[in-house]
Structure 1
């Protein structure tokens, strides 16, 4: 993996053009500590920058930007092509003499022969790249199908900037973007800014599976070269018709192939192992054939409720991996909070970014440069608890006439706090406990709705996000156009289009690349994505268990007793931290006279914080995006 950046601005002198590209590339030095390259065509105002993290072909034969053999194309590329070796014979037959073994050379020669869109149709991997066509004076940007690798750009008819992160764009001389109020509202609602939006006006994320073409004097054109909706439609037209056991057979074959392709590396490689189904399945297939992969897990010795490391260690012992548990203490995580704006670059309100970054940093410090992860399994194979809750609601609650549900909601919501507390104490986890009253009232508010409404509410951090953002409307999101698929497919689709690329994958990318660690995601291999969308609901969820095909595959390698348990998650205890060690941090950020910079309703923010600190409500998930935005805003202004 690497960092890419560049610009086209014909108004700049050659010296300023190069200096701008150098500054943009250097803003991404953490993504590519192994080298920097700049390519310029000053007469056209074009400059491509690159920061290299050397993974395959460690010599200068893999350095970038890279020129095609015919001299027509220049490429700055971040990613890995997992099928690169399969294209090599045809290129050699066509007369190409390879300079090295990098997939960069494969990609640019495919572009030279088939064009950008033709090359994209032929390759499989995770990537973001910029390819400049010298013959047509046109720049192409492209991003991988599922959005594993990031790509931001800012385009007018006269100038285009691009980069792996926002910091590359803001490093360009004269580029001073303004915060988009709609993006702030989106952040407060979702915890992230959904693509193609970005926190700045005039800046966009290239959407997953899209390609953009730009030439001076013309508007930028972004079009899909691949569509998840197309994959879903194809899967519904040609569903898997075998038995559940045959589905597990097919998935195991596909996952074994994906893992094998993603073990390609000229540097030390390992895996993240939480002991859950997804990471354990990936690790089990890595360990086939007597291999002894290095695996890493985060441990939380101070809080057994969060600590999955004993389960990870048990799976590692069974598979025979070289396992390391990385203890993460509360103080270490709290010290990282102030650094998150610099790490994430665009505000991202996912508190699991704290342990994720600490795990990545320790893995890199142990000498590992590439780590395989289990991300994507929940979205593809219906693993999230919210799916089960929404489906249960649809089956058991929706049939009750809405007027009766509305009466019940009013009765529950109107209970005096003392009576609600008595009721909450009588309820089993997770509804009971000290915050049971708050949970009861939130649940009451959902009674009149549908199972899908419940799912959408579970993903909404602040239902009053637009009010908190001074009445500004949020940016459009896939959540605003949920479609008409059956409930489970609808939820999986929306998570795959928004939550997965804009939260989960963005978090892992920033957390890992901040320390020069490449994270790979075998479960998001194109073949597995397409297969998962062919599976019917009764195979995805079987015998009361979600992710049944993945469970079945894993059970062939690891005893179920080692992985069959309730999902714990990877998030710190935010509610307690905000009332304890982060209390002053939260008050200083959110209650200062300058808080919000005009983008937040300070009265509403104060009310939320006061209720949370008093213990009458748990607003932790709603306060975290407010804190994330304000910390980021102050970091940018500094």
Structure 2
């Protein structure tokens, strides 16, 4: 929908200078909202609220922000969409509220006027991040949606509180000052290729975690970002909802499948409400195919669909997507990704992801967003299906590692984990013929080494953390984030993985990738599988409809079976990535070699000896270190862009 930015000076500001500063912050994120801008500056209190608008619902001036509530108490800037807002609007009308326009922003404010901010957060659902000035209580409240679809950064710099949808908005304020990296964030990035909330790459800047809010009193300025972290309040907690759903399960598979279908059908329908056309990303996988099918069922005409093609068999799903599009009758479009495009975008990615971020699928996500934006402002995606319905292949691998860890002697596992590449290569050759035919392709030296490195850990939480770990930072003694997150009792190992993924990997990696790539082009992505009612329906369902011990997404497969022939989608999961290993040995080899020779990367973030070893093994073909090396590349280009 847009981008927001602003600051709290906690003292009077000159109107002209205050507006000029706010404009610079908003202009830095113009790509998020190219249609219009809006600014509010109160020179007496030093409160400045700004927005860049992507007009999707109520395209007239009555939908513009900042917007003030009917009573005048609240003034808001918000990024996102409230789904099902027409029902809430009718409830407010029944209470005597009148409306000037048709936007969800006006409904959000009217609800705050009538019921308050906290109850409104319980009533609304969708994707949102907002800052709202409450004149009556002399405070500003910040909040982020339940699953973390929309971002919000808050920083305490030079006596000011700065906020924005992206870090570049905070950097545009003069009070931001020096750009000093946070060592803890560097360590987490090196481990996981993303930085989990509330950390950010900068000291004294935090990310608002999903499902939380924080209140800032204008007469009590925070001293540091830690004050903001300490003041966080949770208004929706996935762990609490998981426990509640498990305590109130569906009666049987039939009831559960119906509940999931009803919730998803409603979520898709609500996300089709817009004053502009809505398209869809169609990869050819289960999630995007089901979303597209449900969209086409509810659409008046042909749904426009988009996908990325790779000239590489291991990563190309475009033919499957085209076949599904033909079956469903969508108006289908595709773009072909080439190594040359990757080279061109290497310099652009740090501008899009303005803190270190190294998911290789950011590249095709950016390409398909550019393709879609040439025709539309809004698309749907299948994000969220893996985390709630057990769809990741690593769930299968982790269960295998659990069995291996229980059966193999510890010294044997440790020895294999520490073995040079030629030993794991030889072991893979010996074990591959002994495995079932369906699993032989999965027994590779890379996976064997990874299994050994994970299985040697003593408990599930440390093994799961090791599954995600790419680099162990040499100078930062940083405990793994997956080890520190508390979980409800009584969960199976797969349930724990899905919950951890939903709390950490989903909002801090998957949704960051989608938000920045799409919004860099002025495109909004809506994800029906992230509707909290769909998530709760999944957790109320029996295990047999999520991960059944052999495969995941059982319920989604059954729903798709009703709409698409199984032959069009029933194949191993491929993901949405690039042929990274081959590209690093080919067209990206020269630039990667130059980066890895740089002295700027070693010491505080990456170990030189380990980096040299992995790069050498990768070039020789004895191991595939593509994702690990990509982490180093992306950090280098981010550093060159933002720390110079």
TM-score range, shorter chain: over 0.9
Structure 1 counterpart SS, 2:314: coil
Alignment match, 1:196: 198
Structure 1 counterpart SS, 2:551: coil
Alignment match, 1:373: 381
Alignment match, 2:410: 406
Alignment match, 1:559: 565
Q: Measured at CA, do residues 608 and 417 of structure 1 come closer, stay the same or move farther in structure 2, by a change above 3 Å?
A: closer
> 1:584-634: per-residue Cα shift (whole Å, max 9, x none)?
222322322444595544454344434433444432222211221121011
- How far apart, CA to CA, are the structure 2 residues paired with 1:415 and 1:589? 27
C-alpha contact (below 8 Å) 2:386/2:392 kept by paired residues:
yes
Alignment match, 1:333: 342
Unpaired runs of 5+ in structure 2? 223-227
Structure 1 counterpart SS, 2:175: coil
1:441 to 432, 449, 455: 449
Q: How far 1:91 moved relative to its partner?
A: 2.2
1:581 to 573, 576, 587: 587
1:310 to 313, 319, 334: 319
How many positions carry a matched residue from both structures? 626
Q: How far 1:89 moved relative to its partner?
A: 2.2
1:496 to 487, 497, 502: 502
C-alpha contact (below 8 Å) 1:608/1:619 kept by paired residues:
yes
Structure 2 counterpart SS, 1:129: strand
Alignment match, 1:142: 143
Query: Do residues 269 (structure 1) and 275 (structure 2) align?
Result: no
Q: How does 1:18-417 map to 2 (within 5 A)?
A: 18-155=19-156, 158-176=159-177, 177-216=179-218, 217-219=220-222, 220=228, 221-242=231-252, 244-288=253-297, 291-300=301-310, 302-365=311-374, 367-394=375-402, 396-400=403-407, 404-409=408-413, 412=416
- How far apart, CA to CA, are the structure 1 residues paired with 2:165 and 2:86? 26
Unpaired runs of 5+ in structure 1? none
- How far apart, CA to CA, are the structure 1 residues paired with 2:418 and 2:344? 41
Structure 2 counterpart SS, 1:198: coil
- Normalised by the length of structure 2, the TM-score is 0.92
Moved more, 107-116 or 494-503: 107-116
Q: Measured at CA, do residues 611 and 398 of structure 1 come closer, stay the same or move farther in structure 2, by a change above 3 Å?
A: closer
- How far apart, CA to CA, are the structure 2 residues paired with 1:174 and 1:597? 30
Structure 1 counterpart SS, 2:629: helix
Moved more, 569-578 or 559-568: 569-578
Query: Do residues 474 (structure 1) and 478 (structure 2) align?
Result: yes
- How far apart, CA to CA, are the structure 2 residues paired with 1:590 and 1:552? 47
Structure 2 counterpart SS, 1:565: coil
Q: Measured at CA, do residues 362 and 567 of structure 1 come closer, stay the same or move farther in structure 2, by a change above 3 Å?
A: same
- Normalised by the length of structure 1, the TM-score is 0.93
Q: How far 1:96 moved relative to its partner?
A: 2.8
Structure 2 counterpart SS, 1:359: helix
- How far apart, CA to CA, are the structure 2 residues paired with 1:406 and 1:475? 23
> 1:320-353: per-residue Cα shift (whole Å, max 9, x none)?
1111122222211222122100011121110000
> 1:146-171: per-residue Cα shift (whole Å, max 9, x none)?
00000000137942111000000001
Q: How far 1:14 moved relative to its partner?
A: 2.6
Q: How far 1:268 moved relative to its partner?
A: 1.9
